[in-house]
Amino acid sequence: MKMLVNMRDVLKAADENLYGQGAFNANSVAQIKALVEIHEELRSPAIIQGANLANGFMGGCIDFAKCTLEDKKKGAKNIGDAVRKYAENSKVPVVLHLDHGNDFDACKAAIDGGYTSVMIDGSSLPYEKNVELTREVVKYAHERGVSVEGELGVLAGVEDDVFSEKSSYTNPLQALDFFKKTEVDALAISYGTMHGPNKGKNAVIRKEIAIAIKEIMRHEGIDGFLVSHGSSTVPQYIVKEINELGGDITNAYGIDVNQLVEVTKSGINKINVDTDIRLATTRNVRELFKNRPELKNVQYCDEIFNLLETNPKVSDPRAYLHPIMDTIMYGNVPNEGVAEIVREVELAVKETVGTLIVKFGSVGKMPLVKTHTLCEMAEYYNSRK
């Protein structure tokens, strides 16, 4: 069986060859399946992300903002099982990465569930506390060959349990100190992006921050990678279509994809995208009910339709797809109506992710990634001590 890989292998190829490596969030088995398939079709390396609260949701907690550690443990295993199922015969290297782990236990739950890379987000903590927490996660992860991403600086916006009204840009000199003290593999920086669908109509990335950090890293011999969070492009045609189908999505703007392409040449290696997938899924499901009104009377589909109708502002599929949690968590499809919805979920992933794989330049880059087993990576980390 083909094993999932450490994120360092995938980001090293992107860094050396100056293309962008997309990292895409999943909240269901259908999305995981589609993510693996679209990367295979385009021969692109894949980073599939489960967010901290995605683990809770995939553990069966519908009110995922209140999920417990036990929910996260269960969900991490469900996501890990699904990724391994669809990646085991894949030609492309696949990373399973935890997005925005908020404490050591969340990261441990992900690693124990089969994640090969984790993010520990201590960016809201005082600097030394962030360093301390990140070092604790790095020690546990590296002993198991698992890569770690940290965060320095604060992004404005809302994404699951990550919230801030204001941004604080990453200090390049502090980023160097952070890499040295924590030995993280990758660092998410704050340089003008924002979480969520409301980034502002003319959001501008300060690429000089990424350039400065990368140049200092090279000068000091730091072998690490930079990550762009809050980088969804929020396609306006999809927002328009949602609203024409009865939705009410307002003030939704993303990062200009051309800016994202440009920063891949300026030191950014990994680009996180979630909102685009959520929006396309919502558009597809609304469109399905418009074109197939008889589905409103099919078991489970009726509940999904009613949730969408009564919540026109909703864009997160978890808010209306929870009537089919067995399908979400395990991929079990109870009837043809639900099968239609699953197909739309998969198509939404392929449309948005496929577009960005092409834009970011990772099409056909599969052969550039030199992979190692987690045992080999554990030996590598141990040799650096």
In a domain, 341, yes or no: no
Q: Is 228 annotated as a binding residue?
A: no
Given this model, what pLDDT does residue 201 score? Answer: 60
- DSSP state, residue 362: -
CB 323 within 8 A of CB 306: no
Q: Is 137 annotated as a binding residue?
A: no
Q: Is 100 annotated as a binding residue?
A: yes
In a domain, 340, yes or no: no
Given this model, what pLDDT does residue 230 score? Answer: 85
- Model pLDDT for residues 178-210, shown as the tens digit of each residue: 999 999 999 999 887 765 555 456 667 889 999
Given this model, what pLDDT does residue 196 score? Answer: 52
CB 369 within 8 A of CB 9: yes
- Model pLDDT for residues 296-306, shown as the tens digit of each residue: 999 999 999 99
In a domain, 112, yes or no: yes
In a domain, 318, yes or no: no
Reported residue count of the chain is: 385
Q: Is 232 annotated as a binding residue?
A: yes
> What pTM did the predictor assign?
0.94
Find the domain containing 155 and state its range. Answer: 7-273+351-383
Of 9, 71, 99, 160, which one is the catalytic site residue? Answer: 99
Given this model, what pLDDT does residue 236 score? Answer: 96
In angstroms, what CA-CA distances link 379 with 11, 180, 224, 375?
Answer: 19, 19, 17, 6
Which element (helix H / strand E) includes 273? strand 268-273
Q: Write the CATH number for 134.
A: 3.20.20.70
In a domain, 247, yes or no: yes
98: three-class secondary structure by DSSP:
strand
Low-confidence stretches of the chain (pLDDT < 50) are: 157-165, 199
Structural domains in the chain (count): 1
Q: Is 195 annotated as a binding residue?
A: yes
Q: Is 193 annotated as a binding residue?
A: no
In a domain, 278, yes or no: no
- 316 is an active site residue: no
Given this model, what pLDDT does residue 158 score? Answer: 43
